[in-house]
Amino acid sequence: MIHAANIIIKGRVQGVFFRAYTRDEAKRLNLKGWVKNLTDGSVEALFTGDKGSINQMIHWCHQGSPNSCVSDVTVIWLDKCMDTNDFSIQY
């Protein structure tokens, strides 16, 4: 079964390669979806795939990239999501 979660990550998460590290970790976990910067300085991501892998990704988001400083992670599990073919950085 395919699961999906929408995540908002707050803290020092822009300008520290957070999106690139997120993409790499999501691909390592065989997740699909996207990650993007938001205008308020936070980062948003959509992860689709195996629930266990998504939970691992959520755990990773609490740590983030080497130079990030995550202060909050909000997780919204979704009932439905659009099918994605890969994991990408949105601009």
For the chain, the domains span 3-81
Best CATH choice for the domain 3-81 from the list 3.30.200.20, 3.40.50.720, 3.40.1390.10, 3.30.70.100: 3.30.70.100
Q: Is 23 an annotated catalytic residue?
A: no
Active site annotation includes 12: no
The residue from 6, 12, 37, 55 that is catalytic is: 37
Q: How confident is the model at residue 84 (pLDDT cuts 50, 70, 90)?
A: confident
Q: In the prediction, which pLDDT does 85 show?
A: 84
CB contact set of 7 (below 8 Å; sequence gap of 6+)? 44, 45, 46, 47, 58, 61, 73, 74, 75, 76
* Candidate list 19, 55, 67, 85, residue with the active-site label: 19
User: pLDDT-based confidence at 80, cuts 50/70/90?
Assistant: confident
**What's the whole-model pTM score?**
0.94
pLDDT of residue 79: 86
